[in-house]
Amino acid sequence: MTLKLLLAGALALTLTPLGAMADSWQERDVWEALFQDYDAEGSLLVVDQRQDTQAAWVHDAERARQRFVPASTFKVPHTLFALDAGVVEDEFQVFAWDGTDRGVPAWNADQDLRSALRNSTVWLYQQFARELGEESERRYLEATDYGNAEVGADIQNFWLEPDNLEVSAAEQIGFLQQLYRNALPFDEADQRLVKDLMIAEAGRDWILRGKTGWSGELAWWVGWVEWPSGPVFFALNMDTPDRMDDIPKRDAIVREALRDLEALP
């Protein structure tokens, strides 16, 4: 772990999220109907920090405070850990595929940070985890106050399987708010790089940044829409009893909810 992180870790814990943990969340009735329309069980928290809004909206507030396995949403902080530790140099470094067919065509190729984040390439982040090791992973998790900061015994899968690392929708947004402000205990250049890697789409005056995740039983989509007037953060998690058949619901629910708030075109 770098000296910068050791010195800044205590400071990171004192940074107050800009509303994600407030008790003023407002239940949005129309979102209950939205989840029902898609036959989905889950939670959605949106923290709108545009200058003229400043509100937090939620569907199922109790669940938004409940911790779940982060799955591939953990690639956002994990990328910062790897950059800070020197496990990866920059977005241009290429990591050779070992030739093992892992059942996902996009994974069966050499990777860099951009392709790995876009394709959620599990094997590369498992490699990062092995190189970081249990002690460093735990120290990074504690320094960034990420979820329960639990690594468990399986260094290669602790963010993918239940009963190890877990994080709530509220905590996801708290982390993203700090990333948005470059307020995490990492080099600002690394935080800016990760935000660039998170870009999903953009318009003339807005940028959508996010990361999905799926454990097989639970799907996530977390991120924010960046406007000139400020960001709109979101974190959705939902059960996926029908597995891959349920995945499209994640995107549809978030987009409809954001459009309901005029936070996405």
Question: What are the pLDDT digits (tens) for 89-122?
Answer: 999 999 999 999 999 999 999 999 999 999 999 9
The predicted pLDDT at position 53 comes to 83
The domain in which residue 172 lies consists of: 3-260
Number of domains comprising the chain: 1
Query: What CATH number does residue 73 fall under?
Result: 3.40.710.10
DSSP 75-144: HHHHHHHHHHHTSS--TT--B---S---S-GGGSS-B-HHHHHHHT-HHHHHHHHHHHHHHHHHHHHHHT
Asked if residue 147 is part of any domain, the answer here is yes
pLDDT digits (tens, 9 = 90+) for 1-22: 453 444 344 344 433 454 444 5
- Compute φ and ψ for 240, nearest 5 degrees: -130, 70
Asked if residue 207 is part of any domain, the answer here is yes
Distances (CA, A) of 18 to 95, 98, 199, 242: 37, 43, 22, 36
The predicted pLDDT at position 2 comes to 53
Asked if residue 265 is part of any domain, the answer here is no
Asked if residue 98 is part of any domain, the answer here is yes
The predicted pLDDT at position 208 comes to 98
Low-confidence ranges of the chain (pLDDT < 50): 1, 3-16, 18-21
User: Does the annotation count 115 as an active-site position?
Assistant: no
Asked if residue 235 is part of any domain, the answer here is yes
The predicted pLDDT at position 244 comes to 95
**Rounded to an integer, what distance in angstroms lies between the CA atom of residue 108 and that of residue 227?**
36
Instruction: Pick the catalytic residue from 24, 43, 72, 168.
Output: 72
Asked if residue 230 is part of any domain, the answer here is yes
